[in-house]
């Protein structure tokens, strides 16, 4: 490829600045289902991250603002046994204060 062609292509590609990009707050939901064939119906509620074939559950990520709506909608589905939100926000991840005290 010619250098001039590369330059014109790079000029037309839009750049995304960090100020324009905002990270959405998400939360994980563990959705237990009766049969694994119903996993495909869960795709419309959020992004599927993991599916356990042995224990028949799916871990999905949804937006934090819509968490209550999605949980109530999932619990109304006939194939859902239970929905558990992630406890990651409740877990303390910084233990630096304990090390300083010793």
DSSP string, 59-91: EEEEEGGGHHHHHHHHHTSTTEEEEEE--GGGS
Average pLDDT over residues 27-35: 95
Which pLDDT value is given to residue 23?
A: 78
What confidence tens digit (pLDDT) does each residue in 73-97 have?
A: 999 999 999 999 988 878 888 877 7
Whether pLDDT at 8 is above 60: no
Whether pLDDT at 18 is above 70: no
Q: Are 33 and 58 in contact (CB under 8 A)?
A: yes
CATH number of 23-87: 3.30.70.920
* Residue ranges covered by each domain of the chain: 23-87
Which pLDDT value is given to residue 32?
A: 97
């Amino acid at each position: 490829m010619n250098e001039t062609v590369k330059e014109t292509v790079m000029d037309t590609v839009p750049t995304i600045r960090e100020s324009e990009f905002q990270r959405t707050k998400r939360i994980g939901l563990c959705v237990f289902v009766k049969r694994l064939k119903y996993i495909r119906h869960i795709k419309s509620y959020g992004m599927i991250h993991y599916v356990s074939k042995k224990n028949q559950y799916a871990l999905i990520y949804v937006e934090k603002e819509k968490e209550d709506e999605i949980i109530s909608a999932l619990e109304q589905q006939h194939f859902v046994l239970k929905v558990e939100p992630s406890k990651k926000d409740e877990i303390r991840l910084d233990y630096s204060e304990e090390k300083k005290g010793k």
